[in-house]
Every structure is written in structure tokens, then in C-alpha cells.
């Protein structure tokens, strides 16, 4: 029984770290882009992210995201997540632990021959003491992203480094690349491939993909979605479904 409980705790902890990683990405993908929200414009998201493994499921139910174009080429960012985990032995748990804040800065503009390039540092701040959904340690992500477009085709990606303090934690590297195409003014579809190094002592690296896109219900309202699966090591499935309002 003790060994079973320890296995459950370790699995939960690993999945929570995976959930934190997903929150730090460009909806509906893990890979982000360098393009900030336009000056004096807003993005509002309400969404759910889910990771399903054989023994446990984790995610947000939902989370709220806010982005604002503070000045030209600079975006401020906030996520407020309501977390959950589920196992057949322990049922559902819900709670709040971390608040995510960030600042996206584009320092190279896109031209015919040069991609736009930017950075998007993100901080995960332990807001409410909740050992079920975090270890109470501040985490920091420092990436560099690049993007290039040719008509209806857009591709972006890059890499970043997570500073991940805590007992049995590893600092870890994330890298990913995404390609998408505007099939019509209403439908955009794409996919990403991503990799990250082990984030917990004794865990394994991850290679996985997501396919998804957006349905534009109008100039301001968008349905965004993705689903994917691991390609190596322990299997898992991920999903993202959200509503985006832009003003």
C-alpha cells in the first residue's frame, strides 16, 4: 500500500509539471510565437487543457488567460488556472495554486527575408498554498521564438529553458516547431512537434505532437482546439479546447 501511494504521488507530481508546461504555451499549442498582441488591444481566453495517462488525468477546468498590447511590440500576460486531477482510486481533486505572468517582447520585425524574433519570459508564482497542485516554488521560463509567413502559410518555433526549483526537480529544456495554413478565412489548421528534457529526477524525456487550429466565428470570436499524443517513452494524450475573444 505504501509503495502504491508513493507511485501515485510521483505520477501526480510529474503530470502537474507537464500541466504547467502546457499553460506556458501559445494556445492551442505548446510551442509559442514571437508576435505580441497589437498595441492597446486585448485577448481573452477561457479554455481547458487535459493530459490523460493510464493511471491519472490532469488539467485545468477551466483556466482564464488575458493578454494586452501594453506598448508596440510588447505584450503582458496573465493566466489564472483552476486545476484538477483524477484517478479511479482517488476520484477528482480541484484547486488553485499558481498564477502565471509573462511579458512578450518582439525585438526583430519580420521582412521578406528575415523572420520576426522575440522572447516571452514567464513566471509561475505560487499564489495559494496547495501541495496537491504545486510544490510552492517559483518557476521561470526563458525562451526565444521565431516566426515567418508566406501568404496563408505560417511557421514558428524555438526553444526555452525552465528554471524548476524543488526537491527532486530538474531544470529542463523545451523546444518545438509549428506549421499552420489558413485554408479559408474561417478555418486555420496546423500541427506541432515538441521535445523536452526530464523535469523530475528519474523521469524521461518527452517527444510528442499536437494537431489543431482555429475556427473563426467572426472577427472577434474564435474556437481554438488541439489534440496530440506522445511518440516515445510513457504514453499520454493531450487536448486543448478554448474560446478566444479579441478586441
Superfamily of domain 2-246: Autotransporter beta-domain (2.40.128.130)
Condensed to tens digits (0 to 9), the pLDDT of residues 67-98 reads 999 999 999 999 999 999 999 888 899 999 99
d(CA 147, CA 231): 25
pLDDT given for residue 23 in this prediction: 41
Condensed to tens digits (0 to 9), the pLDDT of residues 11-27 reads 443 333 333 333 445 89
Q: Give the start-to-end residue ranges of the domains of the chain.
A: 2-246
Percent of the chain with pLDDT over 90: 82
Spell out where the chain has E strands. 42-52, 57-71, 74-87, 91-95, 98-108, 116-119, 122-126, 139-150, 153-163, 172-182, 187-196, 206-216, 221-230, 237-246
Condensed to tens digits (0 to 9), the pLDDT of residues 122-156 reads 999 999 988 888 888 999 999 999 999 999 999 99
Residue 202: exposure state from Cβ atoms within 10 A (0-12, 13-18, ≥19): exposed
- The label of the residue with cell 526555452 reads 160
How do beta strands 57-71 and 91-95 pair? Answer: unpaired
Q: Taking Cα atoms as reference points, which of 166, 137, 132, 171 lies closest to residue 12?
A: 132
- For the segment 50-59, the average pLDDT, to the nearest whole number, is 95
Percent of the chain with pLDDT over 70: 90
Residue 241 — very low, low, confident or very high, per pLDDT cuts 50/70/90? very high
Amino acid at each position: 500500500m505504501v509503495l502504491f501511494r508513493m507511485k501515485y504521488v510521483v505520477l501526480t507530481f510529474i503530470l502537474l509539471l507537464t500541466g504547467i508546461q502546457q499553460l506556458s504555451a501559445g494556445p492551442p499549442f505548446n510551442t509559442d510565437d514571437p508576435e505580441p498582441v497589437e498595441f492597446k488591444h486585448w485577448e481573452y481566453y477561457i479554455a481547458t487543457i487535459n493530459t490523460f495517462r493510464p493511471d491519472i488525468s490532469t488539467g485545468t477546468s477551466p483556466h482564464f488567460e488575458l493578454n494586452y498590447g501594453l506598448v508596440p511590440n510588447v505584450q503582458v500576460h496573465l493566466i489564472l488556472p483552476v486545476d484538477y486531477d483524477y484517478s479511479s482510486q482517488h476520484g477528482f481533486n480541484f484547486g488553485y495554486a499558481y498564477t502565471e505572468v509573462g511579458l512578450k517582447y518582439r525585438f526583430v520585425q519580420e521582412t521578406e527575408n528575415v523572420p520576426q524574433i522575440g522572447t516571452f519570459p514567464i513566471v509561475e508564482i505560487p499564489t495559494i498554498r496547495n501541495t496537491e497542485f504545486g510544490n510552492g516554488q517559483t518557476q521561470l521560463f526563458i525562451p526565444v521564438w521565431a516566426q515567418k509567413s508566406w501568404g496563408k502559410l505560417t511557421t514558428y518555433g524555438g526553444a526555452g529553458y525552465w528554471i524548476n526549483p524543488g526537491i527532486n526537480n530538474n531544470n529542463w529544456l523545451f523546444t518545438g516547431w509549428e506549421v499552420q495554413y489558413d485554408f479559408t478565412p474561417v478555418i486555420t489548421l496546423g500541427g506541432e512537434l515538441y521535445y523536452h528534457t526530464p523535469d523530475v529526477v528519474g523521469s524521461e524525456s518527452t517527444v510528442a505532437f499536437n494537431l489543431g487550429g482555429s475556427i473563426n466565428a467572426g472577427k472577434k470570436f474564435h474556437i481554438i482546439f488541439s489534440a496530440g499524443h506522445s511518440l516515445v517513452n510513457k504514453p499520454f494524450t493531450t487536448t486543448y479546447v478554448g474560446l478566444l475573444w479579441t478586441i
